[in-house]
Amino acid sequence: MRSFFYVLTAVMVIGLAFWAYRENYETQAAQARSEAVQQKIADQRQRLRVLNAEWAYLNRPDRLRDLVEINFDQLGLLPFQPYQFGKIDQVSYPTEGPLPISNVIDVMEREQQP
């Protein structure tokens, strides 16, 4: 009976060792995948910084002004003037609120009327 427990214990130790070995390699693989994802994120952030810098460079006001002047015949763009902007008291707001919905059939009848 004692030898049976020794064999059972030895089998359990071998099984646990195999499980620990397999978990170790799965953990290393997960860490490698995580590092790859982190590297990809860092690369994309760097690319985003470059694209933002390019966008800022291309949208310089003096460059855009020169482009507008070169293409004036085709675009006809002019600088904004103060009189082109409206004032807040010139905005017309609706006087009555939304219609109350009491019954779906009433709403459908209203939509069908010319």
Per-position pLDDT tens, the chain of length 114: 889 889 999 999 999 999 999 999 999 999 999 999 999 999 999 999 999 999 999 999 999 999 999 998 898 888 888 888 888 888 887 777 766 666 666 656 666 665
Distance CA 40, CA 32 (A): 12
Domain presence at residue 100: no
Phi, psi of 23 (to 5 degrees): -65, -40
In a domain? residue 54: yes
User: Residue 30 has which token pair?
Assistant: 């997960």
The answer to whether residue 47 sits within a structural domain is yes
In a domain, 101, yes or no: no
Model pTM above 0.85: no
pLDDT of residue 28: 96
Q: How far is CA 85 from CA 45, 58, 65, 105, in A?
A: 39, 27, 21, 44
Q: Residue 18 sits in which domain range?
A: 2-87
78 within a domain of the structure (yes/no) = yes
Q: What is the total count of domains within the chain?
A: 1
Instruction: Give the C-alpha separation, 40 to 27, whole Å.
Output: 20
Q: Is residue 105 part of a domain?
A: no
Distance CA 71, CA 65 (A): 10
- Distance, in Å, from the CA atom of 43 to the CA atom of 8, rounded to the nearest integer, reads 52
* Proportion of the chain in helix, strand, coil states, percent, rounded to 5: 75, 0, 25
Residue 102: its pLDDT value, please? 65
Q: Tell me whether residue 30 is in a domain.
A: yes
